Amino acid sequence: MKRLKRLMTARRLSLGLILGSAALLYLSTVIPQQVEAAPGALAAWRAGHRGLLWLVDLLRLHNIYAQPWFAALNLFAALSLALSSWDQFAAARRRLAADGSSAAELCAESVPLEKLYRAARAHGYRPLATAGAERVKCVKYPWGYFGNLLLHLGIALAIFASSVVALTGRQGSLVLVEGEQREPQEPWLASEAGALAAPLRLPGGLRLNRVRVGFDRLNQASEVTSELTLTEPGGRSVPLSAAINRIERYGNLRIYHSAQYGDAFSLTLTGADGAAHTVKIAVQQPVSLAEAGYSDDLATAWSPYLLSAKSFADVKGRSMTSGNPLVVLRLMNGAKEVARTSLTLGATGTLGEYRVRLDGVEKWAKLIVVDLKGMEAVFAGFAVIILGGLIHYLMPPRELFGVREADGSYRVYWRTTAFGECFAEERDRLAAALRKGQR
C-alpha cells in the first residue's frame, strides 16, 4: 500500500496528470467541439485535417468533455493530488510544531524572555505553545505553513469537480427562427451527455419570439438578445430571455446564447417543370455594412447542387438595421459555382434552371441548453487555488526562536521559510529591538 501511495504521489506523475488535463482543455479550443461549433466550421476543420481524422474519430475529440477517458484521467489526477494534500498537511503541522533553529540567523544574545515576547508581539509575531521554557518559538503568519496545502487541495477539488461535470453533464444546441417552436421529442442540432447521464430533453416546447440586435456607432453588434417562451407540459408559458453576455436559467438548465445568429431567408424556387420548392437558409449576421455574412451550404432532395448564400445588411449600404438586406444566392457543385443571383425582399431572379423569389426575412439564433452539476465546485476549487497561492507567496511564515542560556536569558534566532532577502529589513528591525539597551 505504501508503495502504491508513493507511486500515486510521485511528483512526475502528479505533474504529468495535471499537464495532461490542461492539454486536453487546450485541445478542446483547437479542435471544434460539436455542440458549440458552427456546422460549417466543423466541416471545414475536418476537411483541412484529413490526416488526423482517424485519431479524432477514434477518441471522439469533437466531444472531449463527454468521454469516459477524460473523466477517468481527471479522477486519477484528483486522487493523486488528494493523497499529496494529506502529505502536505502532515508536513505543515510538522513545520508549525518544529522548534529547531537550524539554518536560522542569530539576532541577539542574552535577551530576557519577557523582552523577547514583547519585541515579537510588536513586530507581529505570535508566541506558540511549547513543551518547556528551554526553547520558545514565535511565528508571523503561521497560516503560511498551509499555503501549499491549499494549492494542492484547490487543484484536487477543481479537477475532481470537472470529472463529476464530465460524467454527469449533458447539453444540446438548436437553431431557431423567429416564430419557430422546438418540441421536447425533436432532435437537437448537436448534443452530448456524460457516461452517467441520460440524453438531455427540453422540459417543454421552446419558441423563439424575437431576436433583438443592437449596434453601436461603429456598426458593431453591442447587444444580442433572444426572447423565448417555454411552454410547460401543464400549459403554463414561461417567458425567457437569453443574451450573448447573459445566461438565462430555468430550473437546473442554463440557456446560453451563441455568437451564431443572423437572418433567415425564406425562398421559393420554381423549376422548369413548374414544381415549386420552399427553403429557408440561415445566414450569419454581417459584421459591417461592407462585409457579408455567410451561410453553410444547404443540400436539398430536389437538386444535385448545394445552395449557398451570403448577405449584406443593407442593399444601399446605409444602416445595419434597415430591414432591406441584399442576399446573394449561389448553386454550387462542390467548390465550383454553377449559378448566381442577387435578391432583395419580394424580388424575383433566375438561379440556373430555377426561378427564385425572396419571400421573407426573419432573424435566427443558435442556443445551447446545458445541464451541468458541479460547476460551483469547480469555481470553488479555483478560489482555493488563488487563496493558497496568495498565502504561500505573499505570507511566508517568519520564525523567531529563543534558546535558553545558562543564566536564564535567551539566544534569539530568526528564519523565514522563503524569500529571505525580501524580509531583511524586518529582520534587522527585530534584531535592533532585541538588542536595545544592551552594551
Between 206 and 5, name the one with better pLDDT. Answer: 206
Give the pLDDT score at 181: 96
Q: Are both 234 and 268 inside the same structural domain? A: no
Q: How many domains does the chain have?
A: 3
> What does the pLDDT look like over 379-435, one tens digit per residue?
999 999 999 999 999 999 999 988 899 888 899 999 888 887 888 898 899 889 988
Give the pLDDT score at 354: 94
Q: Are both 225 and 374 inside the same structural domain? A: yes
Q: Is residue 35 part of a domain?
A: no
Instruction: Identify the domain boundary among 305, 330, 363.
Output: 363
Give me the percent of the chain exceeding a pLDDT of 70. Answer: 97
Q: How much is the average pLDDT of 316-325?
A: 90
**Contacts of the segment 298-302: beta carbons below 8 A, 24+ positions apart:** 302/271, 302/275, 302/277
User: Strand, coil or helix: what is 56?
Assistant: helix
Q: Are both 357 and 217 inside the same structural domain? A: no
Q: Is the pLDDT of residue 182 over 90?
A: yes
> What does the pLDDT look like over 328-373, one tens digit per residue?
999 999 889 999 999 999 999 999 999 999 999 999 999 999 999 8
Q: Are both 249 and 300 inside the same structural domain? A: no
> What does the pLDDT look like over 80-124, one tens digit per residue?
888 888 888 988 888 888 877 677 788 888 889 999 999 999 999
Instruction: Calculate the average pLDDT of the chain.
Output: 90
8 A C-beta contact, residue 181 and residue 89: no
Question: For cell 536560522, what's the residue?
Answer: 104
Q: Are both 194 and 149 inside the same structural domain? A: no
Q: Are both 122 and 206 inside the same structural domain? A: no
Q: Is residue 347 part of a domain?
A: yes
Q: Are both 185 and 286 inside the same structural domain? A: no
Give the pLDDT score at 4: 66
Q: Are both 377 and 392 inside the same structural domain? A: no
The strand pairing partners of 302, in sequence order, are none
Q: Is residue 55 part of a domain?
A: no
| Distances, alpha carbon 418 to alpha carbons 139, 344, 387, 393, 423, in Å | 14, 71, 18, 8, 9
Q: Are both 186 and 217 inside the same structural domain? A: yes
Helix axes 147-168, 11-30, angle to 10 degrees: 50
Q: Is residue 52 part of a domain?
A: no
Q: Is residue 112 part of a domain?
A: yes
Q: Are both 267 and 357 inside the same structural domain? A: yes
Q: Is the pLDDT of residue 151 over 60?
A: yes
**Confidence band of 295 (pLDDT split at 50, 70, 90):** very high
Instruction: Identify the domain boundary among 363, 396, 427.
Output: 363
8 A C-beta contact, residue 161 and residue 378: yes
Q: Is the pLDDT of residue 194 over 70?
A: yes
Q: Are both 107 and 230 inside the same structural domain? A: no
Q: Structural domain of residue 205, as residue ranges?
A: 164-261+367-381
Q: Is the pLDDT of residue 302 over 80?
A: yes
8 A C-beta contact, residue 311 and residue 293: yes
Q: Are both 80 and 223 inside the same structural domain? A: no
Q: How much is the average pLDDT of 111-140?
A: 86
Q: Is residue 41 part of a domain?
A: no
**Confidence band of 207 (pLDDT split at 50, 70, 90):** very high
Q: How much is the average pLDDT of 309-320?
A: 92
**CA 29 from centroid of its chain's CA atoms:** 10
CB neighbour list of residue 54: distance below 8 Å, 6 or more residues apart: none
Q: Is residue 56 part of a domain?
A: no
Q: Which three cell numbers stand for residue 398?
A: 517568519
Q: Is residue 287 part of a domain?
A: yes
> What does the pLDDT look like over 12-49, one tens digit per residue?
877 888 888 888 889 988 998 888 877 677 888 888 89
Instruction: Identify the domain boundary among 354, 381, 408.
Output: 381
